[in-house]
Chains A and B, each alone.
Chain A
Amino acid sequence: MEILTGLLNGFAVALEPANLFWCFVGVLLGTVVGILPGLGPPATIAMLLPLTFNMNPAGAIIMLAGIYYGAKYGGSTTSILMNVPGESASVVTCLDGYQMAKKGRAGPALGIAAIASFVAGTVGVLGLMLVAPPIAKFALSFSSPEYFALMSLGLALVVLLAGRSIVKALLAALVGLWIASVGTDLFSSTSRFTFGQMELLSGIDFVVVAIGVFALAEVMVNMEARGETQLLPVPKGLKNLLPTMQDLKDCRFAFLNGSVIGFLVGALPGGGSTIASFLSYGLEKAVSPRREQFGTGVIEGVAAPEGANNSETGGALVPLLTLGIPGSGTTAILLAALVLWGFKPGPLFIPEHPALFWGLVASMYIGNVMLLILNLPLVPLFAQVLRMPAYVLYPLILGVSMVGVYSVSGSMFDLLLLLAFGLLGYLMRKLDYPSAPLILGLALGAGMERALRQSLMMSEGSLAILVSRPISAVMLSLAVLVLLIPMFGKLNAWRLRALEQE
């Protein structure tokens, strides 16, 4: 009942013409910065911050939040069309999204990304509205051992991302873990693998590696096969550019999976959308009846991570608004904005400023609808990008990749790194090493090492801390189960062969 009155009051705030306008401005800006690789929501919000001082705080937070969740809609566009992940959370989308585009299904891939974003984004807001306090409590019960277990579960998914050879996948994952260890060690302030380079002190940016290994390598491979490159097929007619009923049916579980995983991982202060998207992709693959087709362009492989990425926004706002704890760069700058406007985000924020909280929640429902209406018509438009001849498309991909990397750090050194990782990706393709495990290892490596060392410092060196805590024990057991999946497959095949022989 309390929630209902709150929500009604919230809609009264969000539906004020000025606030509707700011909501639209926010989601529109968000979509644009989402599509552009590099320029992300934190930088955009930081740039707009001075403009918000003369605004009504409700309108301002509605707009800034709109940029935050709006950017997540656009993030998949370059992943699907060009294999260029625009942000770390849309790296996984490349795996099946780009393959779909290669098969002439760019339209349905972009369409399902928008639909999954809408469904899971809305579920995330529902979660924020209904279960924020208990979820915040649950998030606090999570500490280093649990994070380690969660990341182990994530890393175990490597066996699912493997191509033909598990050994090659594991090797690639190890290289990813190694790259993650470059930089200044948090615990001892010692430099590791920096080779005297100042730029390496803070480690190697995940997005640089992902763009190099995915996009640059793709361009190089295609350049080599210059004679045979054909235009990617783009079917004509609106009907072929949007997901079919069958597609939507295939994604039923992905919508649910993305929504729940995204929200839960988002609510953890040490979580984040990258881990959420990897986990939901892995879960989708683990339970799918057509597991072996993942990575060749199945639509659930796009829907699950894109959903998780959007539902994560609702989750990330839980610790921010109920505890004043930011979990990422974007929520940190939202926190700074609230403080600059004179609010004190913390445990008393929602009870003391109900109009602001409920206005924000209501605006997020409205904003998600706006985003769906805004993004679906863009699908046929963007799908046309692939009609470009190779001599335009590949230089364009190269340009987009370089601009994307440069705008993250503004450093020439990162462009050299991009080139190096492009070459690495090319070599891996030639030698048939899968690149996804490398990216997975890199995405999880730093956090996993940190969580393990924190756990061991908490327990004074005893590994028992990892299995004596229930949440951690359950997740580690799940990780073991996932590692055993390929063996089940082998056992099954062996059993079938045995049956045939009889």
Chain B
Amino acid sequence: MKLRLSLVTLAALLAASVACAQGFKPARTVDLVVHTGPGGGSDVLARAIAVMVEKEKLLPVRLQVINKPGGNGAVAAAHLAEKKGDPNTLGLFTGVWLQSPLVSAEAKVTLRDLTPIARLVLEPAVIAVKADAPYKTLADFIDAAKKSPGQLKQSGGSNTSRDNVVRQLLQKSSGARWAFISFPGGGERIAALLGGHVNIMVIEPEEAGEHIRAGNLRVLAQVSEKRLAKFPEVPTLKEAGFDVPVVPQVRGVVAPPGIPKENVEFWQDFFRRLTRTPSWQKYIADNQFEDGYQNAADLAKFYDEFTDRMREILKDAGVKTVR
């Protein structure tokens, strides 16, 4: 009994001393929850982060990726909500986590119900057509779309995806109209463009890169605030004459609800350090992401703005919103 008591005090003392020195520190393997299966965008980023953490020795424990696919992000968000108070679980969110509660009543957990930690990256996009298409600029395409309303086609993801949001914004500002055809997989979207079955696509720069180099695709404009390093010649939407809001694809980190403030501080600092490492800088340069680091407080503001803007855009697009 005595021995146990002294062990407990010892443990408490140890814990206290660690707490004094460092605040919070994860004690066991940290779970990083993603909403896609292996090979999906978030899964790949999460696994890259796990490798960097190991390489740069950023954590005393291992970081492992947990796949909770399903419900367009809702299953992963609900999993985090269930882990209330757990300091060793994090989630890697994307814009989908913001959008699906807007359109699906079944997705009950919104990002507001979880604890914001940090925003990590913004993924810009480019607007591409086939290299042998007659459109040399975005204005050419818009004019062609005006001449034959509804005849030209764009391939993309679901109707709440960023691809469709960019289309909605362009249609609204220009008065042109073209069709949006949803494909579930990125591969099918590019295949439809390369095969000439659709005319235009909003595509990630890295995905388009090799097809541009091989002379299969041409980029008309880029969906970003300033020109990307690898596309110095291509105008941004604004420079191309279309002053529409730039909608980034966002990725960041959240934690379960109800975790102490010092844990939040530990994790937001951890991710700030991660984004300053050479491995991270190389990774985002290779993938042509933008460094989008924001701390917890800014991220919370970002959610609200983003959600409000999305709701407007989706309503304009005729999508029924439930929240």
Query: Which A residues are within 8 Å of any B CB, using their own CB?
Result: 42-43, 45-46, 49-50, 53, 139-144, 184, 186-191, 194, 196-202, 269-270, 319, 323-327, 329-330, 332-333, 335-336, 339-340, 342, 344-349, 409-411, 450, 454, 457-458, 460
Contact = CB atoms under 8 A, between A and B. Distances in A.
Contacts of A187: 158-159, 182
Interface of B: 37-40, 43-44, 47-48, 50-51, 54, 65, 67-72, 74-75, 78, 100, 103-108, 150-151, 153, 158-160, 179-188, 190-192, 194-198, 206-207, 209-211, 213-214, 216, 286-287, 319-320
A450 B182 CA distance: 9
A454 B183 CA distance: 8
A50 B47 contact: yes
Nearest to A450: B184
B51 A336 contact: no
Given A202-B69, A325-B187, A189 B158 contact: yes
A457 B40 CA distance: 27
Contacts of A197: 106
A201 B74 contact: yes
Contacts of B190: 323, 325
Contacts of B50: 50
B317 to A, nearest CB: 10
Contact of B320 (A50, A190, A196, A342): A190
Contacts of A194: 106
A454 B189 CA distance: 12
A454 B214 contact: no
Given A43-B38, A189-B103, A344-B210, A458 B179 contact: yes
B99 to A, nearest CB: 8
Contacts of B107: 198, 201
A347 B206 CA distance: 13
A450 B189 CA distance: 13
Contacts of A46: 38-39, 43, 47, 65
B184 A199 contact: no
Contact of A184 (B72, B198, B320): B72
Contacts of B67: 43, 410
- Nearest 8 A-B pairs (CB), nearest first? A346-B210, A333-B39, A332-B39, A46-B38, A201-B71, A140-B195, A347-B214, A143-B197
A199 B194 contact: no
A140 B194 contact: yes
A317 B117 CA distance: 39
A355 B276 CA distance: 35
Contacts of B159: 186-189
A349 to B, nearest CB: 7
A166 to B, nearest CB: 32
Contacts of B74: 198, 201
A194 to B, nearest CB: 6
Contacts of A186: 158-159, 182, 184
5 contacts: A43-B38, A143-B192, A324-B207, A332-B40, A346-B210
Most buried by B among A323, A342, A348, A460: A323
Contact of A330 (B39, B72, B104): B39
A326 B187 contact: yes
B160 A189 contact: yes
A17 B50 CA distance: 30
Given A53-B51, A198-B75, A141 B195 contact: yes
B230 to A, nearest CB: 12
Contacts of A349: 210
Given A189-B319, A198-B78, A202-B72, A140 B214 contact: no
Nearest to A139: B191
A411 B75 contact: yes
B181 A336 contact: no
A269 B38 contact: no
B284 to A, nearest CB: 13
Contacts of A200: 71, 106
Most buried by A among B44, B196, B320: B44
Contacts of A190: 103, 320
A49 B211 CA distance: 26
Nearest to A197: B106
Nearest to A49: B47
A458 B181 contact: yes
Given A344-B210, A458-B153, A323 B197 contact: no
Contacts of A189: 103-104, 158-160, 319
A50 B194 contact: no
A139 B192 CA distance: 10
Given A50-B54, A140-B194, A457-B179, A269 B188 contact: yes
A494 B85 CA distance: 74
Contact of A202 (B40, B70, B182, B286): B70
Contacts of B104: 184, 189, 191, 201
B75 A199 contact: yes
A346 B185 contact: no
B148 to A, nearest CB: 11
A45 B160 CA distance: 30
Given A189-B319, A191-B105, A191-B106, A142 B195 contact: yes
B194 A323 contact: yes
Nearest to B155: A454
Contacts of A141: 195
B51 A50 contact: yes
A319 B189 CA distance: 13
Nearest to A188: B159
B71 A202 contact: yes
Contacts of B185: 269-270, 326-327
Nearest to A334: B39
A46 B198 CA distance: 33
